[in-house]
Structure 1
């Protein structure tokens, strides 16, 4: 069939789904009619004479038309088979919008969606450019020639015709007993637990086909007319012996039995599609289509019987006549020719499927074999792989319903939807694991008593991550493994604000980690103390479900796995600096602008690095503590400050050091070194007036503190050792020495050190809320990986003065006093009267 239509210029067009075949040229209503779906659709071709038009080509096989009519109207089919006739066709049409059909038609003729079966219906469906062209799809007449071979009429003269209807052993009533489908996975036990987003396979074995056949068993006795040439031998003796052969022709009917089988009707149904409905499958169902098509042979014979040879010659025997010639006998010659006449050759019609012969059409004498009926299973293995469970599928057990669809081989269309029982369920349980992790910044932890938790240092960055590997259900495919693929989001929540990419995020906000880990800056304003960082892994199927479980969601009702890490937020003690030397005028212009109107920005640093260990200045920088000869930027000959001069300094803290009782404690230890940098040793200081040992600790209190920013403090202090002091090696028992000298000692006594350098080492600690907190050097913990701020800030233990002397200092030695250049030698008191 060919249609001629104007080509569409928009995304909306009409499409032919099939045809209504009518017996009479009248409307469908009240007419005998059947619907037939298009089996083959050829691509449209442009009309070479008018490019605005297209030719459409449609093909429907005649067997489907005949079978459809015969199923609905046998009398109409009988008329068509016997005499031929005209039928009338109306198109069954739908609208296609942007390539999507708005209606459909099943193999059996069922219509759904937007479907039109009349011209007026489709013409009014849209504002078509060429409505007249649609008329070519309706009231089409087609003549079918007679085809009497479609129905086999009984053979005239049969004595007996037995109509036998047989049904295959596996048939529509018991398909459920043999059909089996299952949903499986190589990696998971689908019936117990499988994550969403994983793939399953549907497999099984289904009965290939079944049938019901109506046969005609033709049997009886046929009188076969035989022409026989009978030769008799006549003998008599009339005085002389006579012997004469006489051949006569006689006709006789020889009875012959026959038995053969004809096909009256076969209704063969074959497995075409299968469908499994399960809520865990895409769109709730999966179809397996075009699973099998049988190789069928049905052959109806027009010459089911072939009679035997009907001309024979037989010997009639000797007829004795006595003395006269005898007459030719008129006796029954059937016994003479019966064994000379062959049997009737009979043939069945032929019926086979896939090479298995159910009705054998081989030629046989007298009797053909009876048709064989399919009794056992004929199974088709079916398989569809890589069926992905949608990621959003909720955790639950989804039951399965299966259907095997059987189509009619001769008439087309699905005629039986056979349920497939006992398909296993799908138990969706999407696993997530949450292992919260945080970096431990112990290398910058200055706590005197270190925390047992992870160290987070104020003002520094730290990294968190949400681990998704761990142990889950004791089920196939689960256990201990990486579960990252099932995680929709990994999140972290801090009980304090953090900074990410320059943006501050409020406390108790869930933050999604987009990569394997995330780095955050800990603001200096966060109060020191112990905190819990919360983590969670959210399953890809969580949707709006917020039910959670620690570590892993082993309960399928939970969609979030949670974790936490205990951390300690810790402050800092850093940036010890010498800010002024009250040794004027030698050091004045280093720290004061001309006229002493304002301070310069000059300070002497604890090392070459900042508090995070990042290089800020060179190792031979002048601006490092302690100050030595050559540290003066404008006069390298100026010596280190002398005894009796005051050194001003500052030290900074970060953290919760704002309480009234908080303080910074600086405890000195004294050392002595020769002027050439040799013989460093620990010493003690003694007052000249009473020879009592003394040392001068510094305690910086609230009044010495400046809050420079929220969470940051600067502490300022000064240090001064009297010029008139005795210095002796620490191991010297001065009291015993004095006793030996009977109290008569002088500055020049050899027990006292002079002319070298007095060096002050500071042990610097913070006291927070009355308890020792941070330590600058942290000697007791540094070997366990904790922070030594002197080392972090790059304290230079080897220094060279302007005269080339090499000095080896210990970390924390902050002041060098030149004993030879003390205040008393610089200034002399003079009286006027």
Structure 2
């Protein structure tokens, strides 16, 4: 019988009794080198709350006998030295972008920044991916698992959009973004402003536990003492100028039923618009656009071209801060001649010929001959307009809203007459505008804390009239009519240089002038500012400055908005006589050189 010996679970000597000879004892296994990963443990988790920093490491290796027999062998403890420190660097990145509303921006002088437009949607993009640093394992990648939250802060009010759901946020509120791209809406009552900063931040998962909210770094926390990646994007906010239309034309009775209800001055709310689209480029109509040509009349197909001497009543809409007493809109007409045969022959297009206009008429009580449109004398021939004129067609609701906000009586607004136009220039004063922004919110609910009057006055409707003189004559632009008259004993309009047998096309360049635009950051209006002017602004900003433009010729080639183009003004038309015309953006009215109010009255008497 042997002694019993077991080693590492294996029997080396068996102590069972035997009759003759005991088994030969086995061999104790030779020791082997441990596997290289025996001291390695993968996927160790660092708690999300653990702070960034460098942490010392320590370790030792312990050896002890597998068994001890009749002796005393001590354990062996060997310290591991050197051993590397552990660095915790929880990454976060912040690389935001904003969809640029450049194609909707009508600013005369746009800034070099992002552009946001009132009453428009825009998208903020803040992904979790991007470049962090050149550290091993970092670089360009997605860091979503290390980022706790992404946020944006606007210096103005916004709505965050989720399908048909809208959440309103006051200015300077940190808004949590739950996805890479988030849609927002810019309400009409936000103040227009030059470039302001929109702030973004992305917090690492260990930020809050370590009071790291103020420990910021631009774009990425390459320094592990920081917990927040931040960035700022500059954007300017601008308003809108749109919906130019002709809603009445005074050549009655031929046009009376087109615009007004039978046996009434009440308007049908029918109008000829610039184009087929609305201000957002969405198609909303298929006919009845400006300029009207013969065939544009909905009932009398041989009518459409306008006649000098009759008044076109027109309106347009603005959105923004253009509600102060000194604000106004300027319209600059330019004049072109085109033959009755049109200017399109197959693929050939003859450019419209720019002309100067002359007329005879009474100015300041004195009859004048050969007055040039745009001359100093013509500038004295001012046409007045009264907002309360029943032909103007302003609704009672518009009068009441403006009176309430301006602190006046509706009758005071109705009955006052204002200068509006000469033949060479139209100036629409703020007194000829109304406030139509009632309940203008994406969900039609004005948020708590927002002044409803501020909302209402932030959308304006402007009324104006225009006509050409009844006795109008056209000549090639730049031709010196005065010199000719001196050399030939006067003018009788039978001279060969006058344009005959054709049309005058009137092109409108429209520009808003807004007082104190650079300083508009507060609510701004004093209530009585409607009558008293812009005394709320600093002296240097009281003079209105050009702000928005309809045509935007100077910027459209750089991707900015021409509202004529956005509204899809048709640039080709065929009239009832089969003549084809090629127009330019801004060609709004077309007048016959053959007909006029003067000739109608001479032929038919008054009507």
TM-score by length of 1: 0.53
Structure 1 Cα separation of the partners of residues 323 and 118 of structure 2: 15
Question: Could you say which residue in structure 1 is the equivalent of 2:511?
Answer: 765
Deviations 1:545-582 (A, max 9, x none): 32331322233232111111010011111111111101
Instruction: Say yes or no: does 1:557 pair with 2:221.
Output: no
What SS does the corresponding residue of 1:684 show, helix, strand or coil? strand
Change (3 A) 1:798 1:302: same
Structure 1 residue 730, shift from structure 2 partner: 1.1
Alpha-carbon distance in 2 for matches of 1:419, 1:715? 90
Equivalences for 1:57-206 in 2 at 5 Å?
Answer: 149-150=3-4
Show the counterpart of 1:496.
156
Q: Deviations over 1:617-672 (max 9, x none)?
A: 22xx1x10112212111221224221100111111111111122211100110112
SS in structure 2 opposite 1:657? coil
Q: Which has the higher strand share?
A: 1
The separation in 1 between residues aligned to 2:109 and 2:140, in whole angstroms, is 37
The structural deviation recorded for 1:386 is 3.2
Aligned length: 477
Q: State the alpha-carbon separation in 2 of the partners of residues 353 and 418 from structure 1.
A: 24
Matching residue of 2:50: 393
1:445–1:455 CA contact under 8 A, matched in 2: yes
1:69 matched to which residue of 2?
none
Contact conserved, 1:301 with 1:349, CA < 8 A, in 2? Answer: no
SS in 2 for 1:446: coil
Instruction: Pick from 728, 744, 748 the counterpart of residue 475 of structure 2.
Output: 728
Q: Corresponding residue for 2:179? A: 515
Query: Superposition RMSD on alpha carbons, in Å?
Result: 3.1
Question: Could you report, residue by residue, the CA deviation over 1:71-101 in whole angstroms, capped at 9, with x for unpaired residues?
Answer: xxxxxxxxxxxxxxxxxxxxxxxxxxxxxxx
- Following TM superposition, by how much is the alpha carbon of 1:397 offset from its aligned partner in structure 2, in angstroms? 3.2
1:686 aligns with 2:351: no
Give the match for residue 429 of structure 2: 701
Report which of the two structures shows the higher radius of gyration computed on alpha carbons. Answer: 1
Query: Does residue 718 of structure 1 match 2:458?
Result: no
Displacement of 1:479 in angstroms is 4.0
Post-superposition offset of 1:458: 1.0
Q: Is 2:156–2:190's contact at 8 Å kept on the other side of the alignment?
A: yes
Find the aligned partners of 1:684 and 1:757 in 2 and give their Cα distance: 13
- 3-state SS of paired residue (2:511): strand
The Cα shift of 1:378 comes to 4.8
Question: 2:593 aligns to what?
Answer: 819
Task: Report the counterpart of residue 396 of structure 2 in structure 1.
Answer: none
Provide closer, same or farther for how the CA distance between residues 658 and 296 of structure 1 changes in structure 2, counting only shifts above 3 A.
farther
Q: Secondary structure at the match of 1:706?
A: strand
SS in 2 for 1:596: coil
Equivalent pair of 1:463/1:519 in contact (CA under 8 Å): yes
SS class of match (2:558): coil
**Structure 2 equivalent of residue 297 of structure 1:** 12
Contact 1:295–1:355 (CA<8 Å) still a contact in 2?
no
| Residues 1:380 and 1:684: Cα distance change in structure 2 (over 3 Å) | closer
Of residues 321, 324, 328, the one that matches 1:659 is 324
Deviation at residue 455 of structure 1 after TM alignment: 0.6
Q: Does 1:782 align with 2:556?
A: yes
Unaligned runs of 5+ in 1: 1-146, 151-262, 269-292, 307-346, 357-376
Q: 1:675 to 1:473 in 2, by over 3 A?
A: closer
Distance (whole Å) between structure 2 residues aligned to residue 672 and residue 761 of structure 1: 11
Please name the residue that 2:241 is paired with.
Answer: 573
Aligned equivalents of 2:84, 2:604: Cα separation in 1: 113
Q: How does 1:396-407 map to 2 (within 5 A)?
A: 396-402=53-59
Corresponding residue SS for 2:119: coil
Alignment-derived partner of residue 594 in structure 1: 262
Q: How many Å separate the matches in 1 of 2:284 and 2:604?
A: 48
TM-superposed deviation, 1:407:
7.8
Distance of 1:426 and 1:349 partners within structure 2: 53
Structure 1 residue 514: deviation in Å? 1.9
The residue number in structure 1 matching 2:136 is 476
Cross-structure match for 1:547: 214
Which structure 2 residue ranges, 5 or more long, are not aligned?
69-73, 344-349, 361-367, 375-423, 438-454, 516-543
Deviation per CA, 1:285-306: give whole Å up to 9, x if none: xxxxxxxx67673578999xx9
Normalised by the size of structure 2, how large is the TM-score? 0.72
Partner Cα separation in structure 2 for residue 784 and residue 562 of structure 1? 31
DSSP 3-state at the match of 2:197: strand
